[in-house]
A and B are shown apart, each in its own frame.
Chain A
Amino acid sequence: MNDEQTRARFETLLLPLMNDAYNLARWLMKNQEDAEDMVQESYLRAFRFFASFHEGTNCRAWFLRIVRNTCYTELGTRDPKHKQVPLDSEIDEIEDTSPLPSVRLSQKTTVAAVREAIAALPVDFREVVVLRELEGLSYKEISEVSGVPLGTVMSRLARGRHQLHLLLSDRKQHDQL
């Protein structure tokens, strides 16, 4: 395959994933400018690794893993504390036992409020929630993208949804006051 064919194939496979990549980066970086930079950097990296991409590989999971790692690397250089994320086991052993409030979530909750609640989640939970609820990835794909085992994906998702419910029902109570 010559350079032009390689690039054409790369574009056919990966450009349609631009919105997925941007959405993930936007949620991890929390602002538009950084997200755009991360997506460009990810495309550059993906192009460099493209030789190692094999036909039949799940292209979306492959690329989103690159996007995810690009974002995490950047977050890590900015805030060294970020590197000391507690080990999986530590995060996942903290029991989140606060009972769910009995208020029903209003399905009229605004998009802005939902976004705010997602943004308030710790990054490890946010990542899993975004990949599942917004990107529609399977647990196995999420495990590939984030590099954590299936069981951890499951517990982070549970924890993330639980916190979202708390945040969004708090919000409702505020709105009513």
Chain B
Amino acid sequence: MNCQECHDYIDAYIDNELDVAATIQVKQHLRACVECQQLLEARKAVQALLGNPQVSFEAPDSLLGKIQSVLPVARSDVKQRSRSRFVIPFPRFSVPLALAATIAIMLGLVYLTQRGMFDRSRGTALAQEVISSHVRSLLATHLLDVPSTDQHTVKPWFDGKLKFAPPVHDFAEHGFRLTGGRLDYFDGREVAALVYQRRLHLINLFIWPSASGHNTAAESFTKDGYNVSHWDRDGFSFWAVSDVNAEDLRAFADLAMQQS
């Protein structure tokens, strides 16, 4: 590879967009050419300056409301919706009816559990809950209870708030900066949520004690446009969810698995 070709490829090289063969060629050329090394340094310097999250503009708080008001189909907002669920009129016979329904559902669950079907549908429901929780954390102001980039601040914060001590690690040097943690609640239990930042994107990592205690390989999938990765390790269940691309989330899952 000559200098001109190296110039043509240098941007794709730093963006990890080259195939393996071309990457090796660029690397070989860089080892031998001081000028191209300087170009690489210059590109990285620009990238580092633009990598500061403050360079991006954040939407004003009022924008969400404006958007919701211009969208057609008047729909009550999330809060009102969940409230309306509780004002279903209760006729007098509803208690025995509810009791009967509960028993029927319980019998059904016992049947499903025995058939081994429950776990699978529970996995899907859990994935949905994990994604909903991720979306909620982005929309509401409840993203962080303890905003800190220091794992030694975040970890003790969970002490006394949870019955377990989640593993907390920062992966800033790999491009996944710990920005804090919060308590979340789903699947009938309290869970730890660690929030990481990848460029402008947030990753929620949910952690709670696993039921089985076995270690499992990471299982990754995409649902509703979100990438989700899930694994069990050292007695904990881990669920990572984000809108970063699948590759980045896998890299994140690998890092988290190595650490725990």
Chain B residues within 8 Å of A26, by CB: 57
CB–CB B11/A36 < 8 A: no
A7 to B67 alpha-carbon distance, docked (Å)? 12
Closest CB-CB distance, A121 to chain B, in whole Å? 11
A21 to B67 alpha-carbon distance, docked (Å)? 12
B10, B58, B132: the one contacting A19 at CB < 8 Å is B58
A7, A18, A102: the one contacting B63 at CB < 8 Å is A18
Q: Is A79 an interface residue (CB 8 A)?
A: no
For chain A residues 162-177, which have a beta carbon within 8 Å of chain B?
Answer: 164-165, 168
Q: Is B71 an interface residue (CB 8 A)?
A: yes
Closest CB-CB distance, B71 to chain A, in whole Å? 6
Chain A residues within 8 Å of B8, by CB: 158
B interface secondary structure, majority:
helix
B38, B43, B72, B132: the one contacting A161 at CB < 8 Å is B43
Chain A residues within 8 Å of B11, by CB: 154, 157-158, 161
- Interface Cβ pair total, 8 Å cutoff: 139
CB–CB A3/B73 < 8 A: yes
CB–CB B66/A15 < 8 A: no
Total number of A residues with any Cβ neighbor in B under 8 Å: 58
B15, B48, B63: the one contacting A36 at CB < 8 Å is B63
CB–CB A15/B50 < 8 A: no
Q: Is A134 an interface residue (CB 8 A)?
A: yes
Q: Is B245 an interface residue (CB 8 A)?
A: yes
- B36-79 vs A, CB cutoff 8 Å, 1 = contact: the mask equals 00110111011111111011111110011011101111010000
Give the size category of B's interface with A. 35 or more
CB–CB A105/B72 < 8 A: no
CB–CB A47/B66 < 8 A: no
Q: Is B20 an interface residue (CB 8 A)?
A: no
A7, A23, A100, A164: the one contacting B56 at CB < 8 Å is A23
CB–CB B75/A7 < 8 A: yes
Closest CB-CB distance, A111 to chain B, in whole Å? 5
A7, A138, A139: the one contacting B73 at CB < 8 Å is A7
For chain A residues 13-42, which have a beta carbon within 8 Å of chain B?
Answer: 13, 15-23, 26-27, 32, 35-36, 39-40
A132 to B55 alpha-carbon distance, docked (Å)? 13
Q: Is B200 an interface residue (CB 8 A)?
A: yes
Please judge, given known A-B contacts A8-B75, A19-B200, whether A165 and B45 are in contact too, CB under 8 Å: yes
